Structure 1
Amino acid sequence: MVKIAWHHLFAHPLPEGHRFPMIKYELIPGQLLYEGVISASNLFAPELVSEAVILLSHDPGYWEQLRDLTLPAREQRRIGFPLNAQLLEREMRIAQGTIDGAIYAKANGIAFNVAGGTHHAGSNWGEGFCLLNDQAIAANYLLNAGLASRILIIDLDVHQGNGTAEIFYNEDRVFTFSMHGDKNFPFRKERSDLDIALEDGLTDERFLMKLEETLPLLLAHQPDFVFYLSGVDVLESDKLGKLALSKEGCKARDRKVLQFCKDHNLPVQVSMGGGYSPNIKDIVDAHCNTFKIGLDIFE
């Protein structure tokens, strides 16, 4: 059975001005349940990730400032909202949900996190609404537990996965691939194993062509597990994106990635990443399409 990490804290932890895009974390499972795509048995509520597992990816000093809620105001501004206990709990549950999803994926081929994709968190910093890097934490968990030996991270959010790139810069067992807007946040990029920077206004055809050309090249790493960050801020309607993909183009993107994983017997954990279109329906529809395609390919 395909498993999907979801917790009520995913939807309502943020200050008032930041809540609109977070509503999607409640609406996505609601829509999938309403359409009969999933049942309640597909959903699970993750616990808190342990400190020991966090420290496989994040520096002790940074983690202690998060844990004790003593992160300097300047660093909180870099994250984008004030640090509080509920926000930290949210991120700890998201990270554990991605770990649990990775374990479920090894058994079932694919698993999802309704949230996650917190790829701007580096080893010793938070940034861009990210405190703890869920896919990096899960990747290091798999490696440390002997559950994977060579991992591929495919990051197709419109923003570069700078935190992920930094965490794994000296880790040969993890190959980081980020295809993102060149002139978009973060303006100081890190170096992934493979970065493809895209010009503003890029549409479906050229995006999909670049992706199709690149995916076979990633097999050279010989991965035995994949993490996929499927941000829908690539949509033309996205207010933070600068690319111009249609919903159909976004669906085709997900199908190419997930079919690639299926064809090569690679279990895949999917985190949702960004989505900031003014119309919440556009965000929810695009994210729900990711789930539907994954279930269609793997079930």
Structure 2
Amino acid sequence: MNRRSSVVFSPAYECDIGSHVFPTAKYRLVRDALIAAGAVAAGDVATPEPACRDDLLLVHTPEYLDDLESLRRTPRTSMSELPLTPEIVVAYVLAAGGTTLTARHALRHGAGVHLGGGFHHAFADLASGFCYINDLAVAIRVLQREGAIRRAAVVDCDLHQGNGTARIFQDDESVFTFSIHQQQLYPVKECSDLDIGLENGADDATFNGRLAAALPRVWAHRPEIVFYQAGADPYEDDQLGSLRMTLAGLAERDRLVIAGCAEHGIPLVVTLGGGYARRVSDTVRIHQSTCEQALRLAARSANADG
């Protein structure tokens, strides 16, 4: 990857799923907004390769992957709320490669942004929600297999708990999973290393106060990389939730995580996760703000390295 390529994106992430609430066009729109704002040059956006089967097998069972590859609707795949089509399977396998590529860049240069990924509901042997492949878990396992890291942390600030990620790593002391989310909402909760379930209507002060108090637990784990699931869906006008975070509050949420990684010298990977605002432009603005903060961290790291 080009040294300046802090952003990873594939046009294949944009899938035709009709009028579904999941706006897959957001990935392209965020890329375009970042380029228009001068936050990244078009030529510096890296395109991932699909994750290979051996990489996917570090997390997912062979039987489950066989069902996906064959487009078979079985009890393992039918829990997803998305269609099972060749286009969608390609997008999810690419996203796993994309998060892995972003993580490698973060280890070299301090931070990386994946305009995709964050499919935290996928289990080792089961699709769930809008998720088929758990790209966060795949990236962590690939880096561990390569000896690039031993310890990692997932900071999940999406509206929904990262239940798949929690289950995958529940007996693994090398990976600290932290999720702050709306409690009275999908999914059925798993046990992360640290869970904070917020009541309906929680606002900026509540969310960010609880987040700030919890982050020292993440730093105490001494992770060698942090995967930040920066969902836009805690937003007050999101269609799927009832938290009450403003644009300014979400930007402060991002600052708490990103500044904390910078202060502790921990490489940062950003994935976009959820975001279902009534106006897609709001979702794009939230993601753009997150990405721009992370890219400033990457630029500072590059300058410090000379």
Q: Same fold (TM over 0.5)?
A: yes
Q: Which residue of 1 aligns with 2:144?
A: 143
What residue is the counterpart of 2:302 in the other structure?
none
Quick one: percent identity of the two aligned structures?
A: 35
Are the counterparts in 2 of residues 262 and 298 from structure 1 also a CA contact under 8 Å?
no
Alpha-carbon contact 1:76-1:82 (below 8 Å) kept: no
Q: Is the 1:111–1:268 contact (alpha carbons within 8 Å) kept by the matching residues of 2? A: yes
Q: Counterparts of 1:54-203 in structure 2 under 5 Å?
A: 54-72=56-74, 75-186=76-187, 188-203=188-203
Answer whether contact 2:99 2:117 (CA < 8 A) is retained: yes
State the match for 1:53 in structure 2.
Answer: 55
The two structures have a TM-score, normalised by structure 2, of 0.94
Please give the secondary structure, in 1, of the residue aligned with 2:20: helix
Distance in 1 (alpha carbons) for counterparts of 2:21 and 2:246? 25
For structure 1, which segment, 95-104 or 15-24, has the greater mean C-alpha deviation from structure 2 after superposition?
Answer: 15-24
For 1:273 and 1:294, how far apart are their aligned partners in 2?
15
Matched AA of 1:229: Q
In the TM superposition, what is the alpha-carbon distance from 1:192 to its structure 2 partner?
0.6
Counterpart residue type for residue 272 of structure 2: M
Instruction: Tell me what 1:8 maps to.
Output: 11
Report deviation, 1:17: 2.1
- In the alignment, the residues of structure 1 paired with residue 136 and residue 29 of structure 2 have an alpha-carbon distance, to the nearest angstrom, of 22
Aligned-partner residue type, residue 60 of structure 1:
P
Match of 1:273 in 2: 273
Q: Which amino acid aligns with 2:11?
A: H
**What's the TM-score, normalizing by structure 1?**
0.96
Q: Distance in 1 between matches of 2:8 and 2:77?
A: 27
CA deviation map 1:245-278 (0-9, x unaligned): 0000000000110010011010011100000001
Which residue of structure 2 lines up, in the alignment, with residue 41 of structure 1? 43
Q: What is the alpha-carbon root mean square deviation over aligned residues?
A: 1.2
Q: Partners of 1:15 and 1:206 in 2: how far apart?
A: 35
User: How many matched pairs?
Assistant: 296
Q: In the aligned structure 2, how far is the partner of 1:113 from the partner of 1:219?
A: 22
Question: 1:76 Cα shift?
Answer: 4.4
How many angstroms does 1:41 deviate by? 2.7
User: What is the deviation of 1:296?
Assistant: 2.3
> For residues 107 and 41 of structure 1, what CA distance do their matches in structure 2 show?
19
State the Cα deviation string for residues 56-115 of structure 1 (Å, max 9, x = none): 01111111111121232x554421122111111100111101000000001111111111
Quote the Cα distance in structure 1 between the aligned partners of 2:132 and 2:21.
Answer: 17
Structural mapping, 1:249-288, within 5 Å: 249-288=249-288
Give structure 1 regions of 4+ aligned residues with deviation exceeding 4 angstroms: 74-77
Separation in 1, partners of 2:121, 2:285? 24
> How far apart, CA to CA, are the structure 1 residues paired with 2:175 and 2:62?
22
Q: 1:2 touches 1:110 (CA, 8 Å); kept in 2?
A: no
Structure 2's unaligned 5+ residue stretches are 300-306
